[in-house]
Amino acid sequence: MNDRAVTPVVEKTITIGLVALFLAGMTTALFGGAVPAARDAAGASIGDRTLATATERVEQAIPPNVANVTVRERVRLPATIRGSGYAIEADGRSLVLDHPDPAVGGRSRLVVPPSVRRVTGSWESASESIVVVRTVEGDLVVTLREGRP
């Protein structure tokens, strides 16, 4: 009996099975751990930069003197972070990034002159972001709002 023709077929079948198991294991490892962790890290980094940009733009909109002023400036921010919308809210003298993913978010303290009475308002990422600075009774009021300048 001649069994030599069966040996290459069995060898190739085993090789194909091992390659399939290896690919399945690598796919599971990457999409189960490494890829989501990298996406979280990238999302957190973009969130930090977005919050820093928002903080910088609000601080730059405040004029150095308190004479009767009204300033309206548009602030450009990314529409989404890690594929989701977000909000930036004023909380006292800080800005807070609120995102549905817990890995993305943060708080940034505003460095504003003592003439700033309060900072209020919020921005939704899908809307046009405007910072408005105006004089109210000798002090400055900073408002985050949506719409056109």
Provide, rounded to the nearest whole percent, the portion of the chain with pLDDT above 90: 39
Which structural domain range is residue 27 located in?
Answer: 6-146
Domain count for the chain: 1
* Distance from C-alpha of 61 to C-alpha of 54, rounded to nearest angstrom: 11
DSSP state of 128: P
pLDDT at residue 23 in the model: 81
Q: What are the residue ranges in the chain where pLDDT is below 50?
A: none
Residue 1 lies in a domain: no
3-state helix, strand, coil in the chain (%, to 5): 40, 30, 30
pLDDT at residue 97 in the model: 94
Residue 86 lies in a domain: yes
Query: Could you tell me which of 54, 62, 52 has the C-alpha nearest to residue 132?
Result: 62
Residue 59 lies in a domain: yes
